[in-house]
Amino acid sequence: MNKKEMIEMVAKDVGLTKKQANQAVDSIFHGIEKELKRKRKVTLVGFGTFSVKKRKARKGINPQTGEAIKIKASKVPHFKPGAKFKQSVN
């Protein structure tokens, strides 16, 4: 499913126009992003938790040249699925 298909599903399920559904979906994504930038977790009970993980600096290999490179420490978004969500996929 891509974003367009998600918007169509939300519009149909909730009875909104596609424009309204697009605004709703964008608002949810923006809200999650905003909270993660503030270093706060977003927990959706039964679905999962969005958080930010820190990656340590490490050594890597440039696949084109094969030479060793240093990869800087970084912060990456992380999602941990909730128990209900995990069970629904099985």
The phi, psi pair for 69, rounded to 5°, reads: -135, 160
Q: Are 47 and 87 in the same domain?
A: yes
Residues 51 and 83 in one domain: yes
Which residues, listed in sequence order, are joined to residue 48 by a DSSP beta bridge?
A: 44, 81
Which pLDDT score, from 0 to 100, does residue 3 have? 96
Residue 7: how many CB atoms within 10 A of its CB?
20
CATH number for the domain that contains residue 45: 4.10.520.10
DSSP annotation of 67? -
Q: Mean pLDDT across the stretch 62-78?
A: 96
pLDDT tens digits, 10-37:
999 999 999 999 999 999 999 999 999 9
**How does residue 90 score in pLDDT terms, banded at 50, 70 and 90?**
confident
Domain residue limits at 51: 41-90
Cα(41)–Cα(60) distance, integer angstroms: 29
**Do 34 and 41 contact (CB within 8 A), yes or no?**
no
Structure confidence by residue, pLDDT tens digits, 41-62: 999 999 999 999 999 999 999 9
